[in-house]
Amino acid sequence: MKKILSAIFACGLLVLLALVFQRNFYEVPVLMYHRVDVSDRESGVYVRPENFEKQMEFLKVHRYHVMPLETLIQDLKARRRNPPKSVVITFDDGTLDNIKNAFPVLKTMGFPATVFMITENIGRPGWLSEEDLKILDEGGVSIGSHTLNHAYLPELPVSRVQEEIAGSKKRLEGILGHEVTLFSYPAGGVTPQIREFVEKAGYAGAVTTNYGKERHDPYSLHRVKVGDSSGNLFNFLAKTSGFYSLGKKRVSHRAADPAPAEDYLTVGQ
Question: Between these two residues, 104 and 251, which has the higher pLDDT value?
Answer: 104
How many Cα atoms are found within 13 Å in the side-chain-facing hemisphere of 95?
17
pLDDT reported for residue 248: 55
Q: What is the dihedral of CA 152, 154, 157, 162, to 10 degrees?
A: 80
Residue 105 in contact with residue 125, Cβ under 8 Å? Answer: no
Phi first, then psi, for residue 164 (nearest 5°) are -60, -40
Task: With H, G, I as helix, E, B as strand and everything else as coil, classify residue 113.
Answer: strand
- Helices (H) and strands (E) counted in the chain, each on its own, are 9, 8
Pairing of strands 30-33, 224-225: parallel
Long-range contacts of 233-237 (CB under 8 A, 24+ apart): 233/54, 233/55, 233/58, 236/55, 236/58, 237/58
Percentage of the chain beyond pLDDT 70 is: 77
pLDDT reported for residue 256: 43
Cα 130 from Cα 176, distance rounded (Å) = 8
Cα 266 from Cα 269, distance rounded (Å) = 10
Residue 165 in contact with residue 147, Cβ under 8 Å? Answer: yes
pLDDT reported for residue 232: 78
Low-confidence winner among 4-13, 52-61, 116-125, 132-141 (lowest mean pLDDT):
4-13
Cα 112 from Cα 89, distance rounded (Å) = 7
pLDDT reported for residue 195: 96
| Spans of all domains in the chain | 28-239
Residue 154 in contact with residue 169, Cβ under 8 Å? Answer: no
pLDDT reported for residue 133: 98
Percentage of the chain beyond pLDDT 90 is: 68
Q: How confident is the model at residue 246 (pLDDT cuts 50, 70, 90)?
A: low
Q: How confident is the model at residue 119 (pLDDT cuts 50, 70, 90)?
A: very high
Say if residue 247's pLDDT is above 60: no
Say if residue 254's pLDDT is above 80: no
DSSP 246-259: TTPPPBPPS-SS--
Largest alpha-carbon pair distance within the chain? 79
pTM of the model: 0.84
Kindly state which CATH superfamily the domain 28-239 is placed in: Glycoside hydrolase/deacetylase (3.20.20.370)
pLDDT reported for residue 64: 97
Q: What average pLDDT does the segment 52-62 reach?
A: 96
Low-confidence winner among 44-53, 125-134, 179-188 (lowest mean pLDDT):
44-53
Which letter, b or e, does each residue of 154-186 get, where b requires 16 or more Cβ atoms within 10 Å of its Cβ?
A: bbbbeebbbbbbbbbbebbbebbeeebbbbbbb
Angstrom CA distances, 85 to 77, 90, 130, 210, 225, stand at 20, 16, 34, 21, 17
